[in-house]
Each structure stands twice: as C-alpha cells, then as structure tokens.
Chain A
C-alpha cells in the first residue's frame, strides 16, 4: 500500500471501491481521480486519509469498518472516518462507531447529506497547507464590531442595546461609570438588564473568600 507521497499533489485520490458512491458527484471544488493502489477510500493529503461509511451500511455490516481500520496500518497521521448519517435511527450504530473510532485512532466527521460529506472531502484537501488562523484567536476589525462583541457577551444585551449604550455614555469607559439606575434610564434597557450590565462591570473577577 502506498498512500504516502501519492496524495501530495492537487488531486484527491479515490479508491476504486468508491466507484458509484454518489458522494463523488458532490466533490466539485477540488479535482479527484481514481487510484488503484491506495488502501483508504480517499487520500486527501500527504499524510491524511478518509474512510467513508454510511450508517445504513454499518447496520447491515457492523464488522466491515473495523476490518478497514485494521488494514490502514500506520501510514497516515490524520485518519478521518467520514460518516454519512442517512437514517434517523442512528443512536445505537453511532454509539458503536464512536467507540470504534476512539480506540482505532480515527477522527469522526458526521455529515447529514451527501453535499456535506462531499464538502468535508473537498475542504480537507483544500485546507491541506493552510495555517489554522481561522480557528485561532483573531481580532475584530471595526470599533463597533468589537464593542458589540464585548457588550453582547453580557446576557440579554443585543445590538440595539449596544448602540443605545454607546450613544448615551459615549464610550466603554462611560458605560463602566454608569450606575445601575442610569443604565435603566436608557431607552429599551429594562431594570433587569441594567442590573446585569452593572454587575458585569463591577463584579470582582476573583470572588472574595
């Protein structure tokens, strides 16, 4: 079996076994081609591969997936088990699949439609060399977006309230100086919300012992 190296190009390699799988029609944003000499169902990167399983199929052939996992060997760092949830009655099979995957060192991705499954295949390939910026801490760009992001972290404060607060008190600092009573005088901010806002600004970070 030679997965490593072969998948490093721009193309998703697809195992001949997958011929006829309707999910292939949903892989549109990256190129793919069949390959005779790969063990996994899909090779989406130099060290990443996918095994594909539908819940219905698993219910008919519960032993199938374990065999496939055993056959993978140690060639891949990322081993995705892509599950197509194609039945509502999926609780018990998923319970098994979760266990098999944890023990078999597979990472499960669940897709509820062929489109979604195809999208995971595409994205795994497309993001192969991407830096993980999109899931790292980022900074919002505009002041209003940032302020909105801050103040809406207080329960029940919405965007309208953010505008009300910033226009009545001028700045974040202004809001921090407002009393609970002053806050409640703002249009649209009820007594309860005013108390919540006041508390968020004045509650000690570390509760006093």
Chain B
C-alpha cells in the first residue's frame, strides 16, 4: 500500500472536517483518498454506507482496506450487499455495522421497510456524485437520512468535473440533491498538488509520429462526414446549440449525451431520419477514433461491417454514406490494405495468383498492408531499451533497468501489440505485394475469409433460406479448410468460377437490378466478389477438412504458420506474452496493459516498471506516473507516443483543456455559491405542498399508503410519492406496479416501455392479469421530465391507418380491454399529484392482500426473482414465449447453459415445437 501524498492527506482531512462534495482530477488517486477515509471512520462500532460503487471499485477498495488493516484484527473491511443478498442476511449485516457497499435501490427499500437501524447510521459516502439528481434514488436516501438521523455524515466524491458544467446550474442542483453546502476541488493545478508532483521528474520523451498519408486522408474524410452530418442535423431540427455541437466536440464520448440532451424534449417526436443521424454521428466518432487505434485491416473490416449493417430493406441508408467523403474514406481504407490487379496484369502472372490462392487470398490482389507506424516504432524502442538495460546491468546499475510497461487504450490494442511483438521476426511473402509481417498477412487472410463467409449470407439482408449448420464459424478451429492445399480439380474450378461470378454481378447491375447505391457500396461489393475465390476454395475443401475439424490431431501435418487466422484467433493458441517472458529477469520483461486496468493507485507500485511507454495518450495515466515518482519510485524514461496533428492528439489536448476549464468554472461558481437551507428543488416543492396540505386540510389519521413493487425503485416515482406525503411500502408484487387501494392497481409505463411492451405482447398479458384481479385496472402512461408531452410528431401521421403505429396499437388495447383505464401523466411529479387525486377518500390497501394477489395464478409473471438482463435476452430468443421462459430460467442456469443444452433437454422443458425452434435458432449461422 502506497503512502498518502501530502495533498491527499489534506484531502482526507478536509473530508473529515466537513460534509462536502469533493471533486478530484482523474489520476490523482481519489480511490486511495476514499480508502483512507474509510479506514479512519468505518470502525466496527460505526455503520457507514458506500453508495454507487462499481464491482471493480468494491474489489479495489476491499484490497486496499485489507492492506491498510495489517496487524489490526478489528480494523474495518468492506462488506458488499448485492441483489442476491436476502433481506434476513442484510438485516444481519446492518446490525453488525462497519462499512457496507450497497446498491441504492436495496438501501432505499430496506430503509422504507425499517430493516436498517437508521438511528445507528454513522454516515454515507457517495461515489460518482455527478450521477446524483433531485429525482435519483441517492437523493431519496439522503432525504430520509436527514429527516430521521440528521447527525449522519454525508461525503460525496467525483472524478468528473466536466459533468458539473453541463446544463443549467448542475453544481448547485447536485449539491441540493445531496443536501451539501461545501465543495472541495482538487484540480491538477492546485498549489498543493503542484508542489507534491513537482519533486520528481523523469525524462519524458515525446515521440510525435507523422501519421501516414492514408491516415491523414482518412481522418479528413471522416471529419468531413461528421461535419456534413452535423450541419444536416442542425438544419433538420434547429434544436442544437452551435456553440456546443461542432466537429471538435463530436470527437468525444460526451458528445452523444450532449446531442441527446438537446434533442430529448422532442426525441420521441423526431422522425426516423433525424434519429438516424444521431446514431450516425456516434458511429462516425468511432470511425475517427479507430483510424489510429486499429490496424488497417481491422479498420476496413469495421467500415465494411458498418456498410453491411445499413443494408436494410426498410430503412434508408445514412446520408453520409452517399457523400464524396465517404467514398474517399472507403477507397483509402481499402487501398492501404490491398489493391486489385487489372485483368491484363493478372493474366500474365498465373504463378503469383496461384501462390496467393495457396495462402488463402484472392489471386488478383496486390496486398499493401500498411503497418501502423506506432507498432514499428514500439518494436524499435523496445529493442533500444533492451540494449540499454543490458548495458546498464553490465555496468552494475540494475536499479534503473526494470521492466518496460506499455500502456494502451484498449484490451484489443494490447492483443495487437503482443501478437506483433511475438511474431515481429516472421514475414510472409505475398507475391506481387512483397514481404509483409506475419501478423498483417494473417489479418488479411482472416479478412478475406470473413468476407467470403459474409458473401454467402449477402450481408444480413433478410431471407437467405440456406441454413448452414456445418460449423463454419470463423473460430481458429475451422481455418484448416482454407489452409489445406486444395485438390487439383477444385483448384481448376477455382480459376474458372470467379470470372463467371463477376460477370454475373456486372450483368445484374447493368440490368439495374442491384445498382450500388454509392461508390463505397461498389467497393464493398467488389471486395466481396474477390472473396468469392475464397468461398469456392473453402467450399471445395470443406468435405476434406471436415474430419480434420472433428479430430484435432488432423492439424498436425499442417504448418501452424498457415493456419493462423489473424491475431484475433492466433491469440488463443499463443501463450500469454507476459507468461512467456515471465521467467526472464525483470530487465527483459515487457508488460502490455490497457489503461482500464490502471485505476488502482497500487497499479504502478506493484509492477515496478523503470520504463513506461504510453502507446496512446491518456491524461489521467500521466498523472499516475507523476504520482508514482512522487512516492519515491525511480523511472529511467517515459515515452509518450502520439500521431502528430491527428484526431488522437486533438482529443488528448481537448480533454486536458476541457478538464481545466471545468475546474476553473467550478472554482468561480464555488466562490459565489449560495445554497439556501430551504431549497427550491421540485422535490422540496412537493414536500412543502404536503406540509401546507397537512395544516390546511385535515388528512385522516396516519399517512396514505401505497404498495410499490420493488422493481419500481429504479424509477424516480417512489421517491416523489414519498416526498408528496405517501407512506411508500416496497413489496414484491405480481400484479401491477402500484397498489393504491384494495381495488385499484396501476401499471406504470414510461414511453419507451409502452412502445416496447405493446409490440412484444407483454402489456397485453399484464392488462389481462390486472383486469382479472382488480376492479380498477389502470395503465399509467408516464412521460419523462423535460420531454415533450405528446405521442406523435405533429403532421407525421400517415394518411392511412398504419397497423403498427403506436396509435393503432393503443386503440387495439383499448378495444380488447374496455375495462382498462388509462391515466396520462406529463412527468413523475405530475403522477404524484394524480395519485393523490385517485386516492382521495379511499381506504388504505391491505398490504398482504396486494402481495398475495396473483401469486397462485401460474400464468402471472413472477419475474422479480430473476435477474433482469439475462431474462431480457432469454425472452428475445426464438421459441421462447412469455408463457414458457420461466420454465427455462428455472431449469437452466444461464443463457450459455441453454446454448450448450442438448435438443432432448430443451424438448423436455419446452415441448417439441418450441424446443426445435430454439435449438435451431441458437445454432443457425448468418448464411
């Protein structure tokens, strides 16, 4: 466990001093600060709750606390309460005290059910405080805590200063929701931080690589597509703020949220084209990111997938795909992978073509295979460091020659680097294209195999009847079908067929039957045609290799160099790179890690690197490196790789600038912050209304009670009902979501839920069971706050009655269930008022009756015992219905268990017809 730096100590002290919201810049070790705070205040005599902690966070904290307690048997540990912890066990844990990490939904339910000894709670620590809003469950918990145990402390922390500068007065709103009055800010430019981190400065070599010409063109083309889409979107909606929505901001992940926020009030009224543009922007941002992060083959594969995914018979293709920029994007992306030989060039060179086919590539291409410049530089760098290390050790300076740590943006890049380094010495001769690194050649082969495979399925456009269950999944195991040398006759067939095939395609397009929409489309089709060589090749050898597939020893005769299907699959066969080199001395070790695993403050001190290479720029990790040095560790050299004048660089610089500006804004706001005691948040308005109601009108003895299904605590409504003066009783109920009285039950549907459940048939079943059990069955259609209160885009009604429109489906529901009442609410706040109206003068509900309702009825869903995510996936499978999914969920453990189940097993649960449907759906492949 690393010691706290002086500024971290100050941050802990400041949190101990006062209840506050503490915002720390990323990379400055907030987790370490929280761990220290926990150690001090969460003794077994205390009861402290930790909210909003993710799984990783919990594990990291557990480890840190374990390290901190060393020697003190009674020091605190972190206990974790999850969905699977039953109420009795939870009550036990609460009574034992200590530090407990719990999901907000469980804590709020337990508070309402009086399972938590609220008067004994010492305090709450709220992580990710930027997620807390007036309507969120955390705010609900804090409100209850303050009213019943005002002594409990509240500490909130966040690593996202940017979140507090989006929208209207977000800092003030968050503070109100948290019930806090103080803010503590720890930017990187804080004087104390500066002092602490100034002491150690390892030499940082900034390696600015020029991107390749193709990369520059790709970036420009991608940005042009983005900018065209943004201006199209702006003119179509007139709802976007041009200051915030521009090409620069579009490079960031928060951009999607920003656009959605601006469009949210009108979202469900926007037409499909506009919504499509929002999705397109997200996809283009991804493309822009991947130009430098991916190798050339993977980028092309991604671009082709993008294109194939848009080939839908019902939807128009994205606008940007038809632009000139898209054309450049696709043609450049392809040209750095391969080019096609003209017929004249190819005809004189049959030998080369044959060689290519033997390698599993189309005969008529010239591979270009641009190697990412960073990879080449990295290999060279590692070589140099290795030489330097060996020299240093010979000279007796072993302290400065430890392992080399390479940090990357994703696990995928790690894999690419490992594979490249492990095979750097191997090259493959690709005929006219010359020699290429083995990894690139493998990638290309994998690409064409994938292409051939997709070919037969025509890219997912519906209705290819040919069911193909013969196991042509592109896993490494099936590659021998390509690698096995083809029989002479199939080789001959191979030469003849493609020409015919190409002619057919040309003929078709001439007839206008399948005219490519855009040049990009044409390129993709051409590639697919080229890959047809491979398909025939693979089909021809399929029967031969089939036995080989079943028998793993059948592969022995084949040179393993030939069966790798790109590093994607090679990764499985290769021993872990680290393990491979694990037995070597530290000075020879190269560790490759993604930034996502570096969140732990111990990360660097455990690995003890002396050289660090940042393969991708990352501001937070740079600070971690500074902290590592400030803790007294010696670094020989830090390398920082970035493509000069690239999107990557721009994203890095913008991220730093955005964070700094956010902190500056927060510092200014903090200076002038006035948080009145009685705040004017909408929730408090409800509370005030309730108080005045109490004094003016006489409310019958006891507060009005509503029984609420526990699953509803994901939504803000229970919190608002509580604020509006209801006694909210959380229970697991089978029929309805809210029981207002013994005869009235309410099923709440937000707009997306309504649309989805009308379509899936779920609402039909729910309405049926509500009507069977209650004389007043109410469907509550609840619009979200800040969205327009309207179902339909004005003027977008079809001239004819469309069967699948929401109006038609709603009408059908009304006709089918004349006794179903519909209540419309413009927001959860409004719902609280409507419930007050509906409950006026009614007797209180019998809680046990509400729980028992529908329990004996087997047709009623009792899904609450199930985990929601895997159940949603289960219900979406072919052959699975609302009637039979429970049987499956009870019999099998998980989706993967069902996938592995035999046909007989499925038949025993589902019956023949449904079982076969499911069994075949699971196993059928795209073509």
Contact = CB atoms under 8 A, between A and B. Distances in A.
Interface string B886-927: 001110111110011000000000000000000001111110
B772 interface: no
B344 interface: no
Interface in A154-209: 154-155, 158-160, 162-164, 166-174, 176-177, 181-182, 184-188, 190-191, 194, 199-209
Interface in B710-766: 744, 758-764
B824 A134 contact: no
Contact of A163 (B305, B762, B789): B305
Interface stretch (A5-13, A57-65, A100-108): A100-108
Interface in B856-909: 865-867, 869-878, 881-882, 888-890, 892-896, 899-900
B804 interface: yes
A138 to B, nearest CB: 7
B786 interface: no
B899 A205 contact: no
Contacts of B888: 205
Nearest to A192: B596
Contacts of B871: 205
A207 B899 contact: no
Interface in B441-483: 450, 453-454, 459-463, 471-475
B892 A205 contact: yes
Contacts of B840: 99
A94 interface: yes
A80 B294 CA distance: 58
B873 A153 contact: yes
B323 interface: no
Nearest to A150: B876
Contact of A101 (B415, B463, B790, B821): B821
A160 B460 CA distance: 10
Size band of the interface chain A makes with B = 35 or more
Interface stretch (A17-25, A31-39, A141-149): A141-149
Nearest to A137: B761
A68 interface: no
A15 B803 CA distance: 28
Interface in B817-843: 818-826, 830, 833-834, 837-838, 840
A74 interface: no
Contact of B800 (A29, A85, A109, A174): A29
Contact of A187 (B294, B799, B820): B294
B606 interface: no
Nearest to B464: A143
B807 A120 contact: yes
Contact of B812 (A107, A108, A134): A134
B821 A107 contact: yes
Interface of A: 28-29, 45, 47-48, 77-80, 85, 90-91, 94-96, 98-99, 101-102, 105-110, 112-113, 115-116, 119-120, 122-124, 126-128, 130, 132, 134-147, 149-151, 153-155, 158-160, 162-164, 166-174, 176-177, 181-182, 184-188, 190-191, 194, 199-209
Q: For the complex of A and B, list the 4 residue pairs with the smallest distance between their C-beta atoms, beginning with the closest.
A: A170-B473, A137-B761, A207-B84, A142-B462
Given A143-B462, A187-B302, 12 more contacts: A99-B837, A127-B815, A154-B869, A160-B283, A168-B568, A170-B471, A170-B475, A174-B925, A188-B290, A201-B895, A203-B894, A207-B867
8 contacts: A48-B818, A91-B830, A124-B814, A130-B812, A132-B813, A140-B878, A163-B459, A204-B867
